Amino acid sequence: MDRPLKIAKVIPYPLQALRFGGPVVQAQVVCRELAARGHEVRVITTDIELPQDIRRNEWIENEGYHIYYASTSPHHRMPPYYTPSIRRPLREILDGTDVVQTNIGLTLTNDMVRKLTKRAGVPYVYNAEGALCPKRMQIKSFEKKLFRYFYENRIVREAAVCQAVSQYERDTLMQWGVSPERIAVIPNGFSLPPIDTREAKMGLRQQLGYTNDDIVILFMGRISPIKGIDLLLNAFDQISDEFPNAQLMIAGPDEGIQATLKKFVQKLGLEQRVRFSGLIGGEEKTKALQSADIFALTSHSEGLPNAVIEGLGYGLAMLLTLYCNVPEIEEYDAGYIADTNVGSIASRLRLLLGDDRKRLSCQENARRLAQDRFSLGKVINDLEKVYYSIAKHPDRTRSVLRSV
């Protein structure tokens, strides 16, 4: 039996900062599961948006692993996240560490990891978490081109393994010059919840103010232009008269456009049918997922959306755009994939709203897809294979990556 590993994970913002979405949620889940399997897991991060009552600059035990919140100054709390305060704790633990996992591409934090691990002779796994998507690279494209030239190319090139969360991201890494042998496609994972009875589901819907006859469409993610919420609202407006029992819940942290979206909803006269729930977590988030019928994400760019995987796990019929990078939706007949235009989204909404039997079938298939492809156990198994491979043979990962 292989010995437990000593794993360090470096992420530029803390696991409590849910505003940053899927990467922090996934980091929590993965660290907890790796620790439960007996590995020694240490997380080094910053205090960006960290509650004041949490201790800084010392190791704190958290759900079986240890975490270090390094203090940052205000000008270090924004992209590209130059975080010199993580240097000391990372240097201190590298002796004896088997592998370092980075999270979030296009950060100076990762360049620090590259330099320190190189000196210590410790391999690292690079995970961009969707940051290299060509569409995202077009945002502030000049700055990102410079960053790629001076930093990111070298960070990617010197990684022992590059983790891609989707086939699309694998293709992107190959366009960056990474050989297929150095890429492991390992998606985000999720612990499947128990299946609720219909009575329990109806009870939760009533708590949220919905009736048994309502069909609830859930968007869950950052309220950001890149998420295409305007497309979803326009599509919802097109079908609203045809399906008067359709309701739309938009849940997530505001990144500066929610007020504009609310005014647009008022202009359409849909205030009674479109709800903005803000950032939700814990029990509130669970209730939203349990109460919904359809999960909609009409994004212009994603890596692999953690919210989609959660929606699949709760058995929600899917309405996604191509750029969500979950082609398995069509393979499993778990919903529909639309183009990023209002007409395409509206037509697929009609298909899900107008056919109860089809919607129910998609819901059952969504749950099956989550179990087959995104179960947390499978994801952790694949991560362990990669970690053990590079811990033993940092320069010879090909045989293991073929099996991941």
Q: pLDDT by residue (tens digit) across 150-178?
A: 999 999 999 999 999 999 999 999 999 99
> What pLDDT score was predicted for residue 401?
56
Angstrom distances, CA of residue 267 to CA of 24, 101, 240, 244, 258: 35, 47, 14, 18, 14
The pLDDT of 130-159, averaged and rounded, is: 90
> What pLDDT score was predicted for residue 193?
86
Token pair, residue 243, equals: 């399906």
CB count, 10 Å around CB of 91? 13
Given a contact cutoff of 8 angstroms between Cβ atoms, the answer to whether 37 and 2 are in contact is: no
> What pLDDT score was predicted for residue 292?
96
> What pLDDT score was predicted for residue 92?
95
Burial environment of residue 352 by CB neighbours within 10 A (0 to 12, 13 to 18, 19 or more)? buried
6-189+375-401 folds as Rossmann fold (3.40.50)
pLDDT one-digit tens code per residue, 68-89: 999 999 888 888 999 999 999 9
Hey, do 6-189+375-401 and 198-373 end up sharing a CATH topology, with the first three levels equal?
yes
Domain boundaries, the chain: 6-189+375-401, 198-373
Angstrom distances, CA of residue 75 to CA of 71, 117, 253, 286: 12, 25, 22, 35
CB count, 10 Å around CB of 283? 8
Q: What is the pTM of this model?
A: 0.85
What is the CATH code for 198-373?
Answer: 3.40.50.2000
Q: Is the pLDDT of residue 136 over 90?
A: no
**Residue (of 261, 232, 249, 228) closest to 293 by Cα position:** 249
